[in-house]
Structure 1
Amino acid sequence: MSDCLPQFPAIATDPAISTIPDAVAHTARRYGDQVAIEEDGHLMRYGELYESARLAGRALMALGLEPGERVAVWAPNLHEWIVAALGIHMAGGVLVPLNTRYKGGEAADILARSGARVLFGIAGFLGADYPAMLRGHALPALRHQVILRGEREGWLSWQSFMARAEDTPAERLDARMAALTPDSPSDLLYTSGTTGKPKGVISTHGQNLRAFSDWSAIVGLRASDRYLIINPFFHAFGYKAGWLAAVIRGATILPVAQFDADVVLGCIARYRVSFLPGSPTLYLSLLAHPRLGAYDLSSLRVAVTGAASIAPELIRRMRKVLGFDVVLTAYGLTECCGLATVCRLGDALQTIATTSGRPLDGVEIRCVDAQGSDVMAGEQGEVWIRGYNVMRGYFDDEAASREAVDDAGWLHTGDIGKLDAAGNLSITGRLKDMFIVGGFNCYPAEIEHLIGTHPAVAQVAVVGVPDARMGEVGSAFVVLREGETLSGEALLEWCRPRLANYKVPRSVAFMAALPTNAAGKVVKHELRAVQAKAGT
């Protein structure tokens, strides 16, 4: 695996590189002529990316943006997204990415609560007209709206916006960048809001640089890599472990606006993709493609996936069928910059498949019981995180911040997990997803991992549903592999000798596909709704 070692040290070890603009300047000096972004025939080299980002920063200053003010981006993965984001950072602003699946009211809520001064958007995506969806919503703080592609009445075109740079001398931008420190806020990412309104998580330049410089070095991201980024830029996986990591290392960014197996397989072959992180669902979809063998996947080198428990068989197939040399897993959440643990090169297949690896340097992990006491190795408890990566707090929500991070600096994640003797973390569920069968705690991830090893099963999700006798029982939703047949009773019969009786689901529903959000995570509340409707 020696060819997977990084080409130069982790950028966070260089004291001269303490902010994201510093990192962009460093990469532009080192790899100025190398392609930074390639999108549908449009090439932008690192020298050009740096200069374009500077223009965007100067244009934002011309619009009146002050240090620390928020700027939102509501668009799919495009090269303009990256230029705008880096321009925001250079101007001392705080990036607020908006979920591309938001409706008008949801986007307006984030814009209003963040106090965003400028919004970068796109005319439409997946049939949604973003400007139209915002009409009628009160946004008193918003002063300017910029359309990244095309034109729209009341919005500045991208070209007109960039032309505003002429109104700000380059020296003023230099001064603005020089005033940034590692502790300057860089972004405000809003959580998924599964238990209420999304909360805004504040993180800083230094936190993000250190975390994703280390991540890039650990997973072996190289300047020569061609990185297909399917994970949405509004999410930490697509933004921080995506284009920011690529910029730190000097890799080529290949943005994809939405996942489509045919498109992705075609991109891998056409662009000679070598680096392809994603959710387990992404890899399962590629493996299930009926014409997989028609595509040249020989360029694939590294895959990194999230905290979902993965069957060892999937890892084997990713290596054997898709051709990855390296498959690693990692874990994080928005409240810790999106990253806390990662497997290392050389880890055993079982470690990679069943754990999310060990903490980053400078990060501590505990699994605790309801009283906050450490549980024994191998026992399940709530995952607590402490280190440089823990958020600076929730924006304008001191009460929620104090609830999430205690006085000793421990972030209470709400995730359930266990640590093995070597310090590898396995995520087994969420406190809110845990269901109780006759007094026994059940964690869906554990059950999903077992069912996922069945040779006919491509994907599975388990949720708890009400039961008159037991309180709650498990219900499994299953996607079968191409060409396979299986009955629900046959699957349950297969589970019974492999799971404690209370963990065995009481029902099985087969689906063509599991519902997922834009980040590729299964949306379990939709499955509960399906089950509730079926039970009526």
Structure 2
Amino acid sequence: MATSRLSYIHQPVTFQYMYETVTDRLRILAEEDPDREAFVFYGYDQKRQSLTRKEILDLSTNTAKHLILSGVKKGTHVAVCMSNSIEMLVAIIGVTLAGGIPFFSPGNLKDGTDLIDMMNTLNGEFLIIDASKGDDNWNIIENIWPRSEKSSEKVPSLKMILFNGTGPLDSGLTSSTLQSLRDFFKEPVSSTDVNMPVLQPEDHLAYFCTSGSTGAPKTVTYTHFGTLNWTKSCDITMNISAESRMFLDRTFSWVVGYPRTYLTEGTTRIFVDNRMTLAGKHTEFLCNIIERERCDVVFLPGYIARDVINMPSLVDNFKNVKHIYMGGERMKKVFYDSLIGKYCKYLSTLYGLTEMGGSLVYSNTTSPFEDGIVGKPVQGMELKIINSDGAVVQTGEQGEICLRSVWRLVAYHGMEQQFRQTVDNENWLHTGDIGHLRDDGNVIVHGRYKEWISSGTNKFFPWMIENVLGTMPGVAQVFAVGVPDPRLGQVVCACVMPKPDMRLTEEDLKTFCDGKFLTESTALGISCKPRYHFIMDSIPLLGSGKIDRIKIGAMAKERFGL
């Protein structure tokens, strides 16, 4: 590892790159230990299902053969609109083995227009969707492909829909256009009937959408090589191995949630229906799973961590847990203070982007904690911090964080201009995050350019204000957002979510802010003191589980008619 006075750092590679495909890895792992559990799933009904290494290979291979016989070939784009389940796992791996490229849509609108738009953007030829006769998703199916010869007007490229659910085929669609995914699983296909495609490490593996937390989502193209190698680098940094049993609730459609660590290490993955973690009503059951499955590595997003800490009786469920890691948000000091030594020995934060995968890791064992710390680059990662002119700044100075590695995204699908705005001619990926490099090689993130609250000529990061708001008695979560002001451009709105059973008013919040913030900054003139005060009754989340700051800003503007 080399550092200098300039804010540049890199971490050399000590492992040989994995020049393999998902197909290669599935076969190797099944041959090594066919009867070992590969995946364990708990559905919304709280029932346990599992697959061995051999079972996941056999099921996904058989599904791939069905898909090939149905018309999937190398390069076919397949839309997947599903929640985490054994069926989703087998489906996306089956698509890959068939040579198809899965892309993922959350399906938020009842009429299916968001799904239709995405399928048309990516020329989706197949759709795999959770749907049973009579439910909302079944209505989406009939809207996408209605009982009419004019059906191709909706999604001209669509050839077949596979539904994961139940229901008689009385919708007017023929078996050649609508089929049951579960039938694919049940009906064996002779190996002599199908020619499986030959895949290469640089072939496209999947399209992952960015979270859209700072604007419209972009479709990130990843290869087999890229996905396996950024995962391998993070595995080494976080001591994840074949012996690990990892609890990770993230959806397979998210780059962190994709079944990566099984493919690289053979790690047993324990996962659940995402509705259980987002609802906040199943905390005790989730912790029981962690204990029952002897999980030693646990991914704990901030909202679940808060739920766990607020139920101290559950600490015994973590007796097997050695390592908790977080990602997708700034690590709060309350997590650092509350989790280490009680719920885990090691606490890490994983910094990354959909475009680059996991890029930096901080662990409590390596360096002292500081608000905003995201750690040091993983093996194979370069980092520099630049000013607005593109020059590398001195260590300790703030600037934009840029990353470079051999496994970054290869494209934004259909968005060449946006790709060139993100990845420059020297292959540096511009993250849009602002931070500085500490003397010890750790990076401190201050926020995103797009999160800046710009008031007059002064700019404030939300966390500067949120650190103060978080000291108010009775608050559970706090957010500072910029709202329109006709004179200054933006002013600050303090948004607070009270703790359960706590009665807080907007006047209480205003009084607190009056006692904490100067009305006029002694140095800048314009203060970061909140002008508006908003008591929230819910926290909007993106499909990835990240907090939707854009939505919070929109709620604040609506509340005050701005």
Give TM-score scaled by structure 2 length: 0.83
Structure 2 vs 1, CA of residues 254 and 101 (structure 1 numbering), >3 Å: closer, same or farther?
Answer: farther
2:155 to 116, 139, 153: 139
Is the CA contact 1:74–1:121 (under 8 Å) kept in the aligned structure 2? yes
Q: CA 1:477–1:86 in 2, change beyond 3 Å: closer, same or farther? A: same
Correspondence 1:75 to 2:82 = yes
Q: Please identify, of 217-226 and 519-528, the stretch whose mean Cα deviation from structure 2 is larger.
A: 217-226
Name the CA distance, whole Å, in 1 between partners of 2:262 and 2:473. Answer: 36
Code of the aligned partner of 2:554: A
| Among candidates 208, 224, 232, match of residue 251 of structure 2 | 232
Residue 413 (structure 2) pairs with residue 371 (structure 1): no
Q: Percent identity?
A: 24
Give the corresponding residue for 1:266. 285
Code of the aligned partner of 1:169: T
1:211 matched residue in structure 2: 230
Matched residue, 1:529: 554
2:119 counterpart SS class: helix
Other structure's SS at 1:383 match: strand
Deviations 1:197-239 (A, max 9, x none): 5332111000100011221222222434333332222211222
Contact kept in structure 1, 2:308 and 2:314, CA below 8 Å: no
Could you tell me whether the CA contact under 8 Å between 1:311 and 1:452 is conserved in 2?
no
Q: Does 1:410 align with 2:428?
A: yes
Spell out, residue by residue over 1:439-484, the C-alpha distance to the aligned partner (whole angstroms, 9 max, x if none).
1111223433454466754322211112345332221222244566
Residue 492 (structure 1) aligned with residue 513 (structure 2): yes
C-alpha deviation, 1:420, in angstroms:
1.9
CA distance in 1 between counterparts of 2:296 and 2:48 reads 18
Whether contact under 8 Å (1:11, 1:248) holds in the other structure is no
SS state of the match for residue 235, structure 1?
coil
Match of 1:515 in 2: 540
Q: In the alignment, which residue of structure 2 is the partner of 1:329?
A: 349
**Which of 312, 315, 322 in structure 2 is aligned with 1:301?**
322
| Counterparts of residues 127-526 of structure 1 (less than 5 Å) | 129-137=136-144, 138-151=154-167, 153=169, 154=173, 155-162=178-185, 166=189, 169=192, 172-173=195-196, 176=197, 179-193=198-212, 197-239=216-258, 243-257=259-273, 258=275, 259=277, 260-270=279-289, 271-272=292-293, 273-289=295-311, 292-293=313-314, 296-320=317-341, 323-336=343-356, 338-344=357-363, 346-351=365-370, 354-452=372-470, 456-482=474-500, 487-489=508-510, 491-493=512-514, 495-496=516-517, 502-526=527-551
SS at match of 1:357: strand
Moved more, 213-222 or 267-276: 267-276
Aligned 1:54-133 pairs, distance under 5 A: 54-101=61-108, 104-123=112-131, 129-133=136-140
Q: Deviations over 1:279-322 (max 9, x none)?
A: 21221133235x8549733333322112422222222212355x
Cα distance in 2 for partners of 1:401, 1:72 equals 22
Whole-angstrom CA distance in 1 between matches of 2:438 and 2:141: 49
Q: CA deviation at 1:524?
A: 1.9
2:55 to 44, 48, 51: 48
Is the partner of 2:318 in helix, strand or coil?
coil
Higher relative contact order, structure no. (Cα contacts within 8 Å, ≥ 6 residues apart): 2
Bigger radius of gyration: 2
SS in 2 for 1:119: strand
5+ residue gaps, structure 2, are 1-12, 42-46, 145-153
SS of alignment partner, residue 308 of structure 1: coil
**3-state SS of 1:340 partner:** strand
Q: How many Å separate the matches in 2 of 1:362 and 1:510?
A: 45
Instruction: Give the SS at the match of 1:169.
Output: helix
Distance in 2 (alpha carbons) for counterparts of 1:102 and 1:277 = 29
Distance 1:438 1:249 in 2: 52
Report if aligned partners of 1:58, 1:165 keep a CA contact under 8 Å in 2: no
Q: Distance in 1 between matches of 2:257 and 2:460?
A: 31
CA positional deviation for 1:22: 1.6
- TM-score computed with the length of structure 1 as normaliser: 0.87
**Contact kept in structure 1, 2:399 and 2:434, CA below 8 Å:** yes
**What is the letter of the counterpart of residue 505 of structure 1?**
P
Q: Structure 1: which 5+ runs fail to align?
A: 1-9
8 Å Cα contact 1:186/1:203 also seen in 2: yes
Q: Is the 8 A contact 2:73 2:99 kept in 1?
A: yes
2:211–2:544 CA contact under 8 A, matched in 1: no
Alpha-carbon spacing, 1:78–1:14, altered in 2? closer, same or farther (3 Å): same
SS at match of 2:195: helix
Report if aligned partners of 1:284, 1:459 keep a CA contact under 8 Å in 2: no
2:148 corresponding residue in structure 1: none
Contact 1:311 / 1:449 at 8 angstroms: preserved in 2?
A: no
Alignment match, 1:3:
none
Distance in structure 2 (CA, Å) of the matches to 1:171 and 1:324: 48
SS at 1:253 equivalent:
strand
The AA in structure 2 aligned to 1:142 is L
Aligned in 2, Cα 1:204/1:409: closer, same or farther, shift over 3 Å? Answer: same
Contact 1:36 1:247 in 2 (8 A): no
Letter in 1 for 2:160: H
1:4 match: none
Residues 76 and 100, structure 1, Cα contact 8 Å, conserved in 2: no
